[in-house]
Structure 1
C-alpha cells in the first residue's frame, strides 16, 4: 500500500506528497470549523448583526500605525484530536467570544485543492445572551485579534470564503 511522504512538519502543519506526486498541506487537527454568531438588533435599520473576528493573516503582516492589519472572518479553529466538528465549534465560540451556545450546522466545504482540510460551518443566534469573558488560547495570534459586531450584509463583502458561503446559507435561513 502506498502512503503519503512527509516532506516537512511543524507543530501546526505538515507538507505531504502523495504517491502520484501531488503536494498538499495538512493542518494540525486536519479539519476546521467556522462559526457565525448572529444577533437580532431591533434598534437600528439593520435587523441582524454578525460577529466578525478580525484576525492577522500570516501571509500579510502589513502594519498600519504600529498595528498589524487584520482580516475579517467568522470564529474559526481546528479540531483537536478526537473532537467532533460540533464540539470544536462550541469550544471555539466559548474560547474566542465567551458565548456558551448550541450550534446548528450550515454544512461543510473543501478548503482548497492543495489541502486535505474540510471546514465544517455552524451558526448560533445569540440574541439576548450575555457572553462570559473570552479566554482565548494564549497565542499571540489570538491576543491581537478582536471581535466586532457588523451588519449581516458585511459578510457578502469579505474575501474569506467561509464568509461568502455563510452569507448565502444564512440569508436563506433567516430570510434576510
Structure 2
C-alpha cells in the first residue's frame, strides 16, 4: 500500500512542480499556457498561503495553489485554483485528496469562494471538481485560442464556503 501525504509546498519542490506543470501543458487540455514560468514569476502570481503538494511513497505526485482573481479588498476571499497531477499518478484518486485538502486549507485561511477554469475538453478535471463540491456556474465561449489556433470554450467551476463567514475570514 502506497503512503500518500499532502503537505505544504516549499521552494525546494519547484523542480518537481515545474515538471508536473509541463506535463499538464503537454496534454493541451489543462491550460492555455505553452511554457512554464520561472519560479520567481510563478511565486509572485500565487498566494503565499494554500500551496500544497501530494506525495506518493516519497515522490511528489501533484500540486495545487491559489491566486487571487482580483486585487480589490471586496474580493479578498475569492481565489482561483491551479491543480496538476503528474502523468504517471493520474486516475488514482490523488487529485481528490489534494483538492479537498486545498479547499479545507483555503477555508481556514478565510477564502469564501474558490473557482477553477476548466478547458472544454478536460473531462477529468471537470469530474474532479464536481466530485469535490464544485458546481458549474458558466461557460465562456470561444474565450481563447489553443496552440493550434483553435477557439476553445472554458467552464467556470465554483465552490462556496459552507458558512457565510469562513473560519479564517478575519485573516485576509
The TM-score normalised by the length of structure 1 is: 0.26
The one of the two structures with greater contact order (alpha-carbon pairs below 8 A, sep at least 6) is: 1
Between Structure 1 and Structure 2, the one with more strand by share is 1
TM-score (norm 2): 0.26
Structure showing greater Rg: 1
Q: Choose between structure 1 and 2: higher helix proportion.
A: 2
